[in-house]
Amino acid sequence: MKVKWLILTLIFGVFAMLSGCEPLTVLDPKGPQARTTADVIMISIWTMAFVVIVVFVLFIVMLVKYRASKQNENYEPPHIKGSKVIESIFVGVPIIIVIFLSVITVKSTYEVESTPKGFEKQEPLVIYASSSNWKWHFSYPEENIETVNYLFIPTNRPIEFRLYSFGPISSFWIPQLGGQKYAMSDMVNKLNLAADVPGEYSGRNASFTGAGFAEQTFNVTAMEQEEYKKWVDEIKATAEPMTAEKFDKLLEPAHLGQQTFTGTHLSFLPPPEGHQMKETSKEKENETMDQDKMDDM
């Protein structure tokens, strides 16, 4: 009787805990990259659920069909040779499942690493996202502004994040827009995202970087293009300029609120060279060539 009440208590306790959980934002995508990731997660879950259900059904069948019975002590079961069909199924099905999941994973990895579908012909908005203990710095070279611990982006336009760190390796993650990628101190990683639904989303550092990493979060606001331009104009008209002294102060380990500046730290403290920065060097070379052509004209 006590065991019965203990089991019932555990069951009700589990349901009570689950009822208080927040919805999984990673399964509520608001962009094409996040949608691809969510689809892969659900395919994996349903595949694993299928395997678990089949195993439990077979387990119950075996227990019922081959359970111990009151046979004579001298009873000897008949000798049965192995079945090639059953053995082929036991070996072949797991191989097929692994191949199936591997193909989906590789295909989706290439999709999320490239420019989001439907935005291939658009020029991406480049944002440098750099981390420090324990905050995020977002530099907008195109708009010549910089924000701390918050991010405004236009909808229906590809966003190219260039990630690096002023401290330990951090993991940049906006669950409803895409997967996570590392920001490191000696190289720049590129992450392509896009938001096709206006709204407010949460981002964070998903990698342990010390005592304050749990609060290294940032807010993301996706808005229509016209609203985004108004926000940029407002920042340029009201924010204070970014200076080397201010940025050095920002790099000190601490928790800060949201801050906004005109200008970026890229002018006096450029990102590290290497990896994706090779692409930046080519862009600069092309800009120089274009400028030379203009001068010749």
Residue 15 to residue 11: CA distance in whole angstroms = 6
Average pLDDT, the chain: 86
* Arithmetic mean of pLDDT, 42-62: 92
Whether the CB-CB separation of 172 and 140 falls below 8 Å is answered with no
Specify the pLDDT at position 9. Answer: 65
Specify the pLDDT at position 283. Answer: 45
* Arithmetic mean of pLDDT, 2-16: 58
Residue scoring higher pLDDT (70 or 14): 70
Minimal CA–CA distance to 132: which of 287, 247, 261? 247
Res. 22: pLDDT tops 60: no
Share above pLDDT 90 across residues of the chain, in percent, rounded to a whole number: 66
Q: Does 125-290 carry CATH code 2.60.40.420?
A: yes
* Arithmetic mean of pLDDT, 159-163: 97
Specify the pLDDT at position 290. Answer: 47
Specify the pLDDT at position 287. Answer: 46
Least confident range from 22-36, 150-164, 185-199: namely 22-36
Instruction: Record the pTM.
Output: 0.79
N- to C-terminal Cα separation, the chain: 94
What is the H or E stretch that residue 218 is in?
strand 217-223
Specify the DSSP class assigned to residue 275: B
Domain ranges of the chain: 125-290
Model confidence pLDDT, tens digit, residues 230-270: 999 999 999 999 999 999 999 999 999 999 999 999 999 99
Whether the CB-CB separation of 7 and 13 falls below 8 Å is answered with no
Which amino acid does the sequence have at 78?
P
Res. 185: pLDDT tops 80: yes
Res. 8: pLDDT tops 70: no
Minimal CA–CA distance to 163: which of 136, 134, 135, 196? 136
Minimal CA–CA distance to 217: which of 182, 257, 168? 257
